[in-house]
């Protein structure tokens, strides 16, 4: 997600977002910083696989399982991984200018959770920049010094 936006002074801003695979540690999320990691997820997935194998192994031969039930079970098992992917944090960045060495002279950075929220915030920041000279201080993005 990258956009080029020109502000009212004529400066060209680059506004883009990138997916963060690890949740950044911030003071707002301090309580959630101490997590158990991926071990509980692996244990639960293993338990579900064992239970599904036991269900299939003990099923009598003359039982008819409709295809819609299998599809429903597959969708139920894919719900949480899909939700995890959609709810990943996104790092939003707005930068402008060039100091002669390729570095931006003004840079604003922020983090937001969720693809759709990131896309909406990116559009809002681009609109703010086109109507003003910089992103709003009341938004997700904060200036980096």
**pTM score over 0.75:** no
* Dist. CA 52–CA 25, nearest whole Å: 37
| Structure-token match 């969708």, residue found | 75
Question: Residue 127 — pLDDT band, cuts 50, 70, 90?
Answer: very high
Question: What pLDDT is stored for residue 86 in this prediction?
Answer: 85
In angstroms, what CA-CA distances link 142 with 28, 94, 107, 135?
15, 10, 8, 8
Residue 24: is its pLDDT beyond 80? no
Beta bridge partners of 18: 91
CA–CA separation, 57 and 103 (whole Å): 62
- Residue 119's pLDDT band, with cuts at 50, 70 and 90, is very high
């Amino acid at each position: 997600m990258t956009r080029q936006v020109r502000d009212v002074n004529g400066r060209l801003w680059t506004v883009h977002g990138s997916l963060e695979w690890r949740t950044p540690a911030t003071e707002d999320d301090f309580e959630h910083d101490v997590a158990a990691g991926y071990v509980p997820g692996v244990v639960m997935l293993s338990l579900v696989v064992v239970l599904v194998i036991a269900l299939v192994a003990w099923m009598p031969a003359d039982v008819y399982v409709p295809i819609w039930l299998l599809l429903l079970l597959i969708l139920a098992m894919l719900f949480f991984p899909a939700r995890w992917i959609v709810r990943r944090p996104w790092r939003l960045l707005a930068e402008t200018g060039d100091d002669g060495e390729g570095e931006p002279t003004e840079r604003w950075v922020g983090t937001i959770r969720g693809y759709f929220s990131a896309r909406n915030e990116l559009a809002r920041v681009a609109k703010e920049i086109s109507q003003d000279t910089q992103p709003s201080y009341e938004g997700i993005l904060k200036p980096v010094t």
